[in-house]
Structure 1
Amino acid sequence: MPIDLIEALLKKTCFSDYAKRALVDLKTFSRFSKNLLITEFDFRVVVDFSNKHKLLSTEKQLTVGYEIILDEKFLLEPVLLTENEIDAKVYTLFAKAIFSSRKNLNLVYEINIEPHGGGGSDTIKTFERLLSESRLFVCLLDSDIKHPKGPLGETAKHFALYPKGPNRNSRLEILNAHEIENLIPIPIIEHLFAKEYLGHLFKHANPIKFKKYPDHKNGFLVEQAKKQDMHHGDTFWKDFYHLGDHTYICAKLNSLTEQTKQFLENTSTYKIQEFLDKDANEELFTISNIIASWGVKLRRRLS
């Protein structure tokens, strides 16, 4: 809130003692908060006091009419919708770990967002229900792509009518990778499966190039890679052609998401940061920043 507006309101005699304390507190905090949030985030919510029913999204801003924010659903913590709840929890834990490294923000703010599973192919139904409500939410979808030239999976295709990015009270994002397992940093995988064979992908000089496509649950063989390249008229997997057809490019990493969730829950954010690299995990950092932008809240409350 602009300082001059706060000062004008403080001169009014119609406010309760609590409202006055809130304004005094806001005046003290406003300059610091505004500069910090504008510097650190590229998305914000702005309340429109001239059009009470307005609800308009752009890439940088959600403009909301003042009557809409009086709806209790709008004031609830935002929802993070993914195809299942474990994925949503893992994304949230990564977002909190990455957010905690931003010391200037972490002292005053925290992330408060509700992980929610959509039930696989039924995610579209939950998405449309949330769209019809006033509650803010972010939806992250697996692309299920198996090759750089491959198509989106069936669940992602259900969302073809909805634009990616901000749209009214939501933001829709489709991964540029097969699924959440493909975004889990390699150092974490190597830590969790230290005694197991991971596949030749993890020995490659540039594993990040290839990691976003294999099915980490079922594993991915050289034979399958050759068939995919042939189907798409490409040589994306040629670096592995010299290996035997039944050699794993990516081994079966059973319960990777579940184990990652346990690791994140039981490890300090400081320690988790040792496994993260912004350049190597660019998409994970981008997603975490989106979650932070929608779920950021003050740590303290005015008493």
Structure 2
Amino acid sequence: MILKVICNPDELDVDYHQKVSAFENILSAQRDGNHVVYCDRKLIRHFRGSSHLSSSSLQTISELHFLSREYKTVSNEISVVVHVLFDRSHYVNNLDANGQNIIEISYDYFNSTLRVQPSTLIPENDKDFDFFKIIADGYLNRKSNYNFNLKLSKHCGYGSHTYSVYSEYKSSQKLALCIVDNDVKYPGASVGSTARQFGQNGFCIDGTVEAKMLSVREIESLLPEEVIEEALVSKGYPANSIDVLEKMKRLEQISSGEFRKYFDHKDGITLKQALQPSWSAFWKDFFVAEPTFGIKPCAQNNDCIECGSCIKLDGFGERILEKSLEVMDDSHKRKLFERLSGIILEEWEAIGEKVIAWGCAPKAGRARAS
């Protein structure tokens, strides 16, 4: 994250040694590549040559002098930023200033070196983490003024435990971003059990953490069609899998981008499922073009008769995300973005923006002239 130090050097007298200790830890976050640190030049001038800072901190101060103009610009643009307040203690607060989310934290928070470790990303599983990182890398490559690395710790929630992991980070005031699927199976349906634990107003910044819910049922809904196709062709899938993909693409097109938002990309959906109350208004029409739909009694009376030959819109199996990640790992991340459109592009940009805000880190050995 960007740690923006808000400190008037003329007001450092109170608890001076404790503030210097916190400042040294904050500088170590920049030096260790865990967080980006921005200080204005007045503060930098105050500490340059100071006998109260270690030699490594003095070197970091010199580097921040050269980077201050660049960091100042980005710290005002990025969607989430930490303001470290040296005129308060035992304080955490959240603000929204002109669309930017600000986490205000008092300096004493950083008196422990544990507080300057990388932010944590809390996904539902390991593959989700890998996908979010690919998206963030692609987003970072598109932002020419973001000369950052990406550095995040990982703590998976593995489905039902995601909220408890998130709550632990929240209560212990650790910096963390949590992202979950919405598990919504058709328009107007309730969110799934994992997302439901966060509550109706829980997807926001709260103290030192933020929860984000995807606008699609599952993370597979965000896989580009070209990536799925490459996975089906090159990763050992049966030849008829391409027919499944072509059908999905056709249904996505005729639904104006709604089909994949709710489709189960792993298991697919049967007509029996589609005819359930509340489901049928959305799902039934996607089966109309199936060859045997017209002769199915259940299609006329919306009531499954357990015929034993249920029509199914197939999915791609449990490993489609894993295999698609293998394809994307071998792709140019920026070009992945260039081929996106519609809700997939919107969600990739939203995810990329959030993950970069929470996980941006300095590139090693960079110093620009002022």
TM-score class normalised by the smaller sequence: 0.7 to 0.9
- Residue 243 (structure 1) aligned with residue 280 (structure 2): no
Q: What secondary structure sits across from 2:198 in the alignment? A: coil
Q: 1:175/1:269 Cα in 2 relative to 1: closer, same or farther (>3 Å)?
A: closer
> d(CA) in 2 for partners of 1:231 and 1:177?
18
1:162-201 matches, cutoff 5 A: 163-194=202-233, 195=239, 196=241, 197-199=243-245, 200-201=247-248
> d(CA) in 1 for partners of 2:185 and 2:343?
22
Work out whether residues 78 and 137 of structure 1, in 8 Å CA contact, stay in contact via their aligned partners in 2: yes
Query: How far 1:239 sits from its partner (Å)?
Result: 5.0
- Residue 110 (structure 1) aligned with residue 149 (structure 2): yes
Query: 122-131 or 237-246: which moved more?
Result: 237-246
Query: 167-176 or 187-196: which moved more?
Result: 187-196
Structure of larger gyration radius:
2
Q: 1:202 aligns with which of 249, 256, 259?
A: 249
The equivalent residue for 2:132 is 91
- Residue 261 (structure 1) aligned with residue 325 (structure 2): yes
Q: What secondary structure sits across from 1:193 in the alignment? A: helix
> d(CA) in 2 for partners of 1:91 and 1:15?
38
> d(CA) in 2 for partners of 1:297 and 1:77?
9
In the alignment, residue 23 of structure 1 is paired with which amino acid?
Answer: I
Q: 1:29 aligns with which of 50, 64, 67?
A: 67
Q: What secondary structure sits across from 1:103 in the alignment? A: coil
Q: 1:231 aligns with which of 264, 268, 278?
A: 278
The equivalent residue for 1:54 is 91
> d(CA) in 2 for partners of 1:152 and 1:215?
14
Q: Could you report, residue by residue, the CA deviation over 1:67-88 in whole angstroms, capped at 9, with x for unpaired residues?
A: 1123333211111112212211
The equivalent residue for 2:236 is none
- Residue 282 (structure 1) aligned with residue 346 (structure 2): yes
The equivalent residue for 1:215 is 264
Query: How far 1:51 sits from its partner (Å)?
Result: 1.4
Q: 1:292 aligns with which of 341, 351, 356?
A: 356
The equivalent residue for 2:190 is 151
> d(CA) in 1 for partners of 2:248 and 2:316?
12
Query: 235-244 or 293-302: which moved more?
Result: 235-244
TM-score, with length taken from structure 2: 0.72
Q: Could you report, residue by residue, the CA deviation over 1:15-70 in whole angstroms, capped at 9, with x for unpaired residues?
A: 4444333333222211121113423x122111011112111123511111111123
Work out whether residues 94 and 288 of structure 1, in 8 Å CA contact, stay in contact via their aligned partners in 2: yes
Query: How far 1:241 sits from its partner (Å)?
Result: 4.6
Query: How far 1:184 sits from its partner (Å)?
Result: 1.4
Q: 1:231/1:272 Cα in 2 relative to 1: closer, same or farther (>3 Å)?
A: closer
Work out whether residues 98 and 285 of structure 1, in 8 Å CA contact, stay in contact via their aligned partners in 2: yes
Work out whether residues 79 and 353 of structure 2, in 8 Å CA contact, stay in contact via their aligned partners in 1: no
TM-score, with length taken from structure 1: 0.86
- Contiguous gaps of at least 5 residues in structure 2: 1-38, 234-238, 294-309
Query: How far 1:280 sits from its partner (Å)?
Result: 4.2
The equivalent residue for 1:140 is 179
> d(CA) in 2 for partners of 1:112 and 1:11?
30
